[in-house]
């Protein structure tokens, strides 16, 4: 089983990964305290999240660093992370920092510099559309306005990392370009920047496959005598064809934020479900929500904990058919996307404000 | 024989290095055209310098990139390069870019970040004291005001360099920190910045031991479809104890710009010369200016071509004794340093202007 930011093998065992990474399961105390349907299910593991909560109890704030890997238009799966960040801002007064990695993507993909910049700004609009408070939210684009403290921190971090360390963390080799070898220094700098500049502790909500960046950041923080960043680690989101991790190469397994209602309909109507061969059989034996992509989308995006439990039970008992769930999801998604596109247009005027430093 | 920016072996054969690096000897046409006593002797090899001269014939300008490796106070040997740059600005209307490498030194030495910044500004004052035109001269400090186009160029360069390439060019290994592995990308970006931003061709006056940076820059320029930077390559300056290359670790082999007149006297009076065992023997057999550090200092800093030839002949013929030369050098150096310190104080007010972009 191999999980790195650049490779994820098929046989994912989340409990095994959590243990091998040295992360902890999110316990009921934390689940109650945060009180968000994503925590406990989608976000399942953490490091030092309890310390962030304790800090918040006293100081009523903390920082969140939540980078966006710019490589395509955003889909619903990408947006989930930022919906959660918005929740953290609203409920916990979190300052949100979003570094866009157009530079990293340039290094690993065969894409033009200027295209990646455009893509970064396009992604930024989707994130801004969620309604973040621009006074407490900062978008960082290394190739547009590299922040001096971030660059300087990256120099310090790069002194503490050797080729061997990077190689063992990411599985690179000697033919890897030096930009990729060096990029973790910048990502570490993004993560440590709020703590180094203001002392605020940082929480990084991040996919389990990206956890190595947080681990390296914690090592560097220790050596720089900074508070180590905490993390809250998510599992992957199921793709519409039922695979455990959405495929970046197959656009049909994800719903993009700029998909037309017709395209969304086509994708959802042909989505993989946990249903039986016939309606009669399903009514008799019930469906399986555990493997159902429609249930995954409904529960992650649109249902409260109670609604989720009710739907799960209706499915298992054969009280609801896959067609019903698909129609329900279709309506909700298209309504959400219509609203999102409106908010996105409004956000265009505000984008500059998100580029002003929070401190 | 090993010549890299981080290691220079003792057995230096300049013609052999030039050939193995693929550089060319500076010919009489170029010597006449530039007409500076340093060219032909101290600066002995080049790449594409003829192209720079042709460009200047048509356009009456070019750019010079001449980095300063910040690691200590500057000595006369360091200043020689910038005296030559000042000459290029005065005679050829060259725009001069001076990137200070406080970030590189942080990566390779056990020095504090803040000390290196202070040292960089101190070095900058010594360079500014030479009287550069601030409208045509720009000082670049990566850790103080990283320029966005330079950073972006460094990302592009870093995509074109692998660990293997850097390793074979510099002799690093897998325990080298990733900052050092990545630094050549930034140095390449400094060198290519004027050409990428304005199309001006770049000349890099540089010590032969640093030539690899120019070679890598030329490779990257080729791949980025930019005019390849030219170089004019210097030999090392002799140290006061007669070694071919001044020792960075022994301050007595160099005259620092902040040395007191007493210290300068002590250093020059005990300098290694090409003299004989006694005055009588020297008058009879003559001295050897080829191995004389006092002759080196006089000829590189203070003598015209004619004066140099006259002194050389007087020495070989026994018409002048080492004590005379030492007194002559001592007077000239102390007068120069007194004047330099005055100019340096005046430059303090102007330093900000040198940090404004030339374009």
- Cβ contact A44:A232 at 8 Å: no
Tell me, yes or no, if A115 comes closer than 8 A to chain B by beta carbon. no
| Interchain contact, A162 vs B156, CB within 8 Å | no
Structure confidence at residue A10 (pLDDT): 65
- Cβ contact B68:B138 at 8 Å: no
Q: What is the mean pLDDT of residues B56-77?
A: 95
Chain A positions touching B164 (Cβ under 8 A) are 174-175
- Cβ contact A211:A187 at 8 Å: no
The pTM (predicted TM-score) of the whole model is 0.94
Chain A positions touching B144 (Cβ under 8 A) are 148
Tens of pLDDT, residue by residue, chain A (359 residues): 666 776 766 678 888 889 888 899 999 999 999 999 999 989 999 999 999 999 999 999 999 999 999 978 999 999 999 999 999 999 999 999 999 999 999 999 999 999 999 999 999 999 999 999 999 999 999 999 999 999 999 999 999 999 999 988 888 888 889 999 999 999 999 999 999 999 999 999 999 888 899 999 999 999 999 999 999 999 999 999 988 777 667 888 999 999 999 999 999 999 999 999 999 999 999 999 999 999 999 999 999 999 999 999 999 999 999 999 999 999 999 999 999 999 999 999 999 999 999 99
Is the pLDDT at B246 greater than 70? The verdict is: yes
Q: What is the mean pLDDT of residues B314-325?
A: 97
Chain B positions touching A141 (Cβ under 8 A) are none
Q: What angle do CA B215, B217, B222 make, to 5 degrees?
A: 100
**Size of chain A in residues:** 359
Tell me, yes or no, if A179 comes closer than 8 A to chain B by beta carbon. yes
Chain B positions touching A175 (Cβ under 8 A) are 162-164
Query: What tens digit of pLDDT does each residue of B85-141 get?
Result: 999 999 999 999 999 999 999 999 999 999 999 999 999 999 999 999 999 999 999
Structure confidence at residue B231 (pLDDT): 97
Is the pLDDT at B179 greater than 70? The verdict is: yes
Residue with tokens 């005001």: B145
* Two tokens, residue A189: 């700098």
Tell me, yes or no, if B6 comes closer than 8 A to chain A by beta carbon. no
pLDDT confidence band for B286 (50 / 70 / 90): very high
Is the pLDDT at B315 greater than 90? The verdict is: yes
* Two tokens, residue A290: 């555990």
Selection from A83, A85, A73 nearest residue A257 by Cα: A73
Tell me, yes or no, if B155 comes closer than 8 A to chain A by beta carbon. yes
| Interchain contact, A179 vs B146, CB within 8 Å | no
Is the pLDDT at B59 greater than 70? The verdict is: yes
Residue with tokens 């006449």: B32
Tell me, yes or no, if A146 comes closer than 8 A to chain B by beta carbon. yes
Q: What is the mean pLDDT of residues B159-163?
A: 94
**What's the first-to-final CA gap in chain A, in angstroms?**
41
The phi, psi pair for B186, rounded to 5°, reads: -70, -40
- Cβ contact A231:A205 at 8 Å: yes
Cα A103 from chain centre: 19
**For A217-230, b where at least 16 C-beta lie within 10 A, e where not — what string?**
bbbbbeeeebbbbb
**For B21-60, b where at least 16 C-beta lie within 10 A, e where not — what string?**
bebbebeeebeebbebbbbbebbbbbbbbbbbbebbeeee
Tell me, yes or no, if A359 comes closer than 8 A to chain B by beta carbon. no
Closest by Cβ to B175, choosing from A144, A151, A164:
A164
ipTM of model: 0.93
Structure confidence at residue A296 (pLDDT): 96
């Amino acid at each position: 089983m191999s999980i790195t930011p650049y490779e994820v093998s098929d046989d994912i065992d989340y409990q095994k990964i959590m243990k091998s990474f040295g992360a902890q399961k999110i316990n009921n105390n934390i689940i109650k305290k945060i009180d968000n349907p994503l925590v406990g299910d989608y976000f399942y593991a953490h490091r030092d999240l309890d310390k962030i909560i304790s800090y918040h109890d006293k100081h009523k704030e903390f920082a969140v660093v939540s980078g966006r890997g710019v490589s395509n238009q955003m889909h619903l799966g990408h947006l989930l992370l930022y919906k959660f960040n918005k929740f953290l801002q609203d409920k916990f007064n979190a300052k949100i920092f979003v570094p866009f990695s157009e530079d990293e993507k340039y290094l690993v993909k065969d894409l033009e510099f200027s295209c990646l910049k455009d893509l970064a700004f396009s992604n930024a609009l989707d994130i801004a559309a969620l309604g973040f408070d621009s006074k407490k939210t900062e978008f960082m684009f290394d190739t547009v306005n590299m922040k001096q403290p971030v660059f300087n921190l990256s120099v310090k971090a790069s002194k503490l990392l050797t080729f061997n360390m990077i190689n063992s963390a990411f599985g690179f080799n000697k033919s890897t370009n030096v930009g990729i070898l060096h990029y973790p220094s910048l990502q570490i700098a993004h993560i440590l920047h709020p703590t180094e500049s203001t002392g605020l502790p940082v929480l990084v909500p991040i996919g389990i496959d990206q956890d190595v960046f947080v681990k390296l950041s914690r090592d560097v923080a220790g050596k720089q005598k900074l508070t180590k960043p905490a993390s809250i680690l998510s599992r992957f989101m199921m793709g519409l064809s039922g695979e455990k991790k959405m495929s970046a190469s197959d656009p049909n397994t994800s719903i993009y934020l700029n998909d037309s209602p017709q395209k969304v309909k086509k994708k959802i109507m042909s989505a993989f479900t946990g249903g039986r061969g016939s309606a009669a059989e399903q009514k008799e034996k019930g469906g399986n929500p555990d493997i159902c992509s429609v249930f995954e989308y409904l529960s992650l995006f649109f249902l409260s904990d109670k609604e989720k439990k009710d739907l799960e039970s209706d499915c298992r008992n054969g009280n609801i058919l896959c067609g019903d769930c698909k129609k329900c999801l279709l309506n909700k998604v298209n309504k959400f996307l219509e609203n999102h596109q409106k908010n996105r247009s409004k956000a265009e005027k505000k984008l500059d404000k998100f580029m002003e430093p929070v401190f």
